[in-house]
Amino acid sequence: MGAFLTFPVVLLVIFVLAVAGYLLGYRRARTLSEAAPRSMHSRPNQHGWHVVFATVAPAVLFIIVWVFSTGVVSNIYANAIIPDELQDVQVPLQQREGLTEREIEIREEVLRTQFVATVKGLAVAIDGYIANGNANEADIERWRADLAPLQDRLRADGQVVRSSVTQGMLTVAQDLRRFNARMATAGPLVALALTVFGFVLALRAISLDFRARTVVERWIVGFLIFASTMAILTTIAILSAITVPSITFFREYGFFNFLFGMAWAPAGDVAGIPEGRDGQYESVLGFLPLIWGTLYISLVALLVAVPLGLLAAVYLSEFASKWARAWVKPALEILAGVPTIVYGIFALITIGPFLQAVVGATVMPNTVSVMTAGVVMGMMLVPFVSSLSDDVINAVPQAMRDGSLGLGATQAETVTKVILPAALPGIVGAVVLAASRAIGETMIVVLAAGALSNVQGLEPNPFGAVVTVTTRIVAVLTGEGSGFDSIDVLAVFALAFTLFFITLGLNLLAQRMVAKYREQYD
């Protein structure tokens, strides 16, 4: 029975019951109201919808929760049933020499994690093997006596078996499989029961006095509230995704070692096990060279974007004819809508070689450099700065312009002496926002700033290649992800952590400045 009652089947049942429920509920309510005209509280379609919600909502909610919690529960179960004395999860005696208690503990922790992963893989492999019709449960138990054939059979069937299977592994895997099978049967059963229960209950509830509309509207508002908490959930998810590994990293490596380190040279250490001399990590993971590269490029970008964007905004809002505005603004919007990877490739194959030809190969050994990335990023930010400044400038009250012009100031004097000072807080806010964008920008720097994996110190040459925070994140996390067990990977989460808080700080600052400026004139 368990094999046929799966979630897709239940979802199909739910769908059929929902459609049937709407029609049945509608008909029933209709009959009732026809028998007693004008005395029914809710309209027939509202009764129909009530049945639909009662049938679908609890079951679907349950399925979502179940799907994610079974994984967690299964993990916990696997961890719990591993016997402590199992050889697979113990550091061999000859390797224990010269290790402290804590180091042994960490190593056993790593072994345990790996063992759980292997056992889960094995369980999946055996499930797949049986599902392909190659054997039944009894066969597996019979093959237990000699493990090599089992392993070879699994592999021959195309199943992935990573390490060689041991007795302990098979025992735990079989136990886990039985547990998973029970879970896989129980979940759909409960969901089905909830569906039928809701369906029947809702149909029986239909009466002249039943306030179906109120109940349905309560369901709807409930969903609206849930949807609006998505923003909070996303923020929480981001925070936990970057904070948990970061804290592990800071504890392992040392917060100040990270923050003030002058070199970035990952060496592949495993978290918790300093491999090098004196119990130190061989990886050197200092933040300064990376943030230096990021800030250097951002500075160049802002030096390009702020004057150009500001002048363009002033021109468009104060001097330009209607015609010019109608053509230039969409052009700027095109520039703003171009994906950043396009800018990155443009920097790489057009701007980089051009700059190299201009300044010479001695000053600029590679086509990737601070200037290559910075100039293009600046151009990307021009529409951003100009449209924000445009808004700010337009928000300056007309009375101030008229006053200034009425006193005899020229238009330019009005702009420089009245409008820009009045709009200054807003403009600074825009620049801060642009800086936050520049710091978080990824694809341009990944392609055009340089791709060294090891850096020492700070690169002073604006035509030299640098490494940035975002470049390192992409480089490490796009490789075949090794999970969280390496200190180098954890360090990347620490990079994301600092990046997140730097940009968050800048954004809050900018928002506050713009809000203050708005208050001044509203």
Q: Which CB, 80 or 225, lies closer to another protein?
A: 225
Beta bridge mates, 296: none
Report the alpha-carbon distance of residue 17 to residue 51 in Å, rounded: 9
Q: Which CB, 133 or 408, lies closer to another protein?
A: 408
Crossing angle of helices 487-521 and 230-253, in 10° steps, is 130
Please report where in the chains the tokens 């009466």 appear, as a residue. Answer: 207
**Cβ at position 220, least distance to another protein in Å:** 6
DSSP tag of 208? S
**Cβ at position 237, least distance to another protein in Å:** 6
Per-residue HEC secondary structure of 36-100 comes to: CCCCCCCCHHHHHHHHHHHHHHHHHHHHHHHHHHHHHHHHHHHHHHCCCCCHHHCCCHHHHCCCC
**Cβ at position 478, least distance to another protein in Å:** 5
Q: Which CB, 287 or 343, lies closer to another protein?
A: 343
Q: Which CB, 24 or 271, lies closer to another protein?
A: 271
**Cβ at position 454, least distance to another protein in Å:** 20
DSSP tag of 348? I
**Cβ at position 196, least distance to another protein in Å:** 27
Beta bridge mates, 273: 270
Tell me the pairing of strands 455-456 and 263-265.
antiparallel
Q: Which CB, 93 or 225, lies closer to another protein?
A: 225
Distances in whole angstroms, Cα of residue 461 to Cα of each of 365, 440, 447, 453, 468: 11, 22, 19, 18, 15
Q: Which CB, 10 or 448, lies closer to another protein?
A: 448
Which tokens is 361 given?
């190969």
Report the alpha-carbon distance of residue 512 to residue 100 in Å, rounded: 52
Q: Which CB, 101 or 480, lies closer to another protein?
A: 480
**Cβ at position 348, least distance to another protein in Å:** 7
**Cβ at position 432, least distance to another protein in Å:** 11
